[in-house]
Amino acid sequence: MAAKDQKQGGGFFASLASSLSNFSSAMHKSVNGLVGYEGLEVINPEGGTEDAEEEAQRGRWKQEERDSYWKMMQKYIGSDITSMVTLPVIIFEPMTMIQKMAELMEYSYLLDLADKCEDPYMQLVYASTWALSVYFAYQRTWKPFNPILGETYEMVNHGGMTFIAEQVSHHPPMSAGHAENEHFTYDVTSKLKTKFLGNSVDVYPVGRTRVTLKRDGIVLDLVPPPTKVNNLIFGRTWVDSPGEMILSNLTTGDKVVLCFNACGWFGAGRYEVDGYVYNANEEPKILMTGKWNESMSYQPCDLEGEPLGGTELKEVWSVAETPANDKFQYTYFAHKINSFDTAPKKLLASDSRLRSDRFALEKGDLSKAGAEKSSLEERQRAEKKHREANNHKFVPRWFDFTDEVTTTPWGELEVYQYNGKYSEHRAAVDSSDCVEEADVQSIEFNPWQYGNLCVE
């Protein structure tokens, strides 16, 4: 049997799938069978009255809000709503999209291990697990703020790295990011594409992610699966990412294919991930299995995908402890991202942490958060008007627009490239002895290239 047919044919994962299928059938016969089955969560994929009431109790939609926004949103069915819909801050979290990009760095030690590892297949085990690890954090159902054009996010004091992200385009919304330490560089151009389906929205990651392992110059390319946000307005909101994640070693031709199972009724299959590390000839070398909300494990396998005799399944990663009953379902790392503990000295005035709407929401002042959000958006429109009147184009500060266009499963993407200027800026600041010790929270948020504009 060909290795690439393992998902449909026999082998280790086929037997797992068969067991899961039998169990799922039993669930349809008796809900009582749920008792004692660890890991299942009762979910109505289509939403329900009980779910809606639970969401309201969590501080989300009130019934009257649901009805009014449902009427407003119906006209957008089938559309890309990435930046065309104004939503109330009650469904937001106090973080922006470019801050959320940095959450991928929580378990960056896995990339350090990949760089140190001499086994090319284990390199892919570590690196693909790093790419998967962020999905635990990405299951949050609160919406991040859309970044203002020119907005940035800086992060230091984590894993010996520096991280910089910048909003490089407003229409379409696009961000670029760069991270680096002694073991790896990470570069991403990100453009989300959405399709609103009524009570759910499909999110397609039209982006390019590249990781370079410094020791041997290995270049890795990541294609993540799409994401679906279910019960957006009615019912209990939840997130799923069914599909394949593919991490390719562009240097050797080896790759990892991880299959994210779709969630079914009663939560069957949710969180589960199975796959293989393949060599350049598409022969399986290592099987991987686990749950993206718990842990991942690996085991060497034969050409049929079966575990090798004398080997055992070993855990490569497990999710870190999280705060109990956190309002926004934040991890400790998410709180760290929002704090000034991860900010460098002389923080850029364009940094997301300084946004007045984000800060007000973090303090629980929804009224002020909404007003500040509207004010920032008006100032963004004013700057655009000023720029167009002068026939000027927006120019990112830390990333350069290139002529390269890459093809993704969901469309073509114009690529932005890190220009190295941030490294020079940070080195100059860090080496300076005359940096004033100011209250960083007193810095006024200012991503505008044409000064601190006032709305006319």
Q: Strand pairing of 255-260 and 272-278? A: antiparallel
Q: Give the three-state DSSP class for 411.
A: strand
Read off the tokens for 223: 């294609």
Q: Which of 43-52, 184-193, 423-432 has the lowest mean pLDDT?
A: 43-52
How far apart (Å, rounded) are the C-alpha atoms in residues 275 and 292?
Answer: 13
Reported pTM: 0.83
Are 113 and 123 in contact by the 8 Å Cβ rule? The answer is no
pLDDT in tens, 96-111: 999 999 999 999 999 9
H/E run at residue 172: none
Q: What is residue 431's predicted lDDT score, i.e. its pLDDT? A: 86
Read off the tokens for 243: 């599909």
Match 């946004």 to its residue by tokens.
355
Bridge partners (DSSP) of residue 165 are 153, 177
Which band of pLDDT confidence, cut at 50, 70 and 90, is reported for residue 3?
very low
pLDDT in tens, 123-158: 999 999 999 999 999 888 888 999 999 999 999 999
Q: Give the three-state DSSP class for 85.
A: coil
Closest CA to 239 of 195, 205, 272, 201: 201
Q: HSE-up of 263 (CA within 13 Å, CB side)?
A: 23
Q: What is residue 427's predicted lDDT score, i.e. its pLDDT? A: 93
Residue 246 has pLDDT above 50, yes or no: yes
How far apart (Å, rounded) are the C-alpha atoms in residues 256 and 244?
Answer: 10
Which band of pLDDT confidence, cut at 50, 70 and 90, is reported for residue 345?
confident
Instruction: Calculate ∠ Cα 89-92-95, nearest 5°.
Output: 120
CA 12 vs. chain centroid, Å, equals: 30
Q: Strand pairing of 227-230 and 218-223? A: unpaired
Q: What is residue 286's predicted lDDT score, i.e. its pLDDT? A: 98
Q: How would you label 84-104 residue by residue, b for 16+ Cβ within 10 Å and e otherwise?
A: eeeeebbbbbbbbbbbbbbbb
Residues 6+ apart with CB under 8 A from 109: 159
Read off the tokens for 170: 């407003």
Query: pLDDT > 90: what percent of the chain?
Result: 60
54-82 average pLDDT score: 65
Instruction: Calculate ∠ Cα 154-160-166, nearest 5°.
Output: 20
**DSSP codes, 211-271:** EEETTTTEEEEEEPPPEEEE-SSSS--EEE--EEEEEEETTT--EEEEEEPPP-GGGTTTT
Q: Which of 53-57, 84-88, 300-304, 421-425 has the lowest mean pLDDT?
A: 53-57
174-186 average pLDDT score: 97
Residue 193 has pLDDT above 90, yes or no: no
pLDDT in tens, 390-413: 899 899 999 999 999 999 988 899
Give, in order, the Cα–Cα distances in Å from 22 to each of 5, 26, 268, 294, 313.
21, 6, 11, 23, 24
Higher pLDDT pick, 171 / 419 = 419
Residue 354 has pLDDT above 80, yes or no: yes
How far apart (Å, rounded) are the C-alpha atoms in residues 438 and 422?
Answer: 21
Q: What is residue 301's predicted lDDT score, i.e. its pLDDT? A: 98
Mean pLDDT computed over every residue of the chain? 84
Read off the tokens for 302: 């034969």
CB atoms within 10 A of CB 336: 17
Higher pLDDT pick, 75 / 36 = 75
Residue 322 has pLDDT above 90, yes or no: yes
User: CA dihedral in degrees (128, 206, 370, 348; nearest 10)?
Assistant: 70
How far apart (Å, rounded) are the C-alpha atoms in residues 344 and 430?
Answer: 9
Which band of pLDDT confidence, cut at 50, 70 and 90, is reported for residue 434?
low
Q: What is residue 32's predicted lDDT score, i.e. its pLDDT? A: 30
Q: Which of 20-24, 130-134, 419-423 has the lowest mean pLDDT?
A: 20-24
Which band of pLDDT confidence, cut at 50, 70 and 90, is reported for residue 202?
confident
Q: Which of 12-21, 183-192, 300-309 has the lowest mean pLDDT?
A: 12-21
How far apart (Å, rounded) are the C-alpha atoms in residues 229 and 199?
Answer: 9
Q: What is residue 35's predicted lDDT score, i.e. its pLDDT? A: 31
Residue 4 has pLDDT above 60, yes or no: no
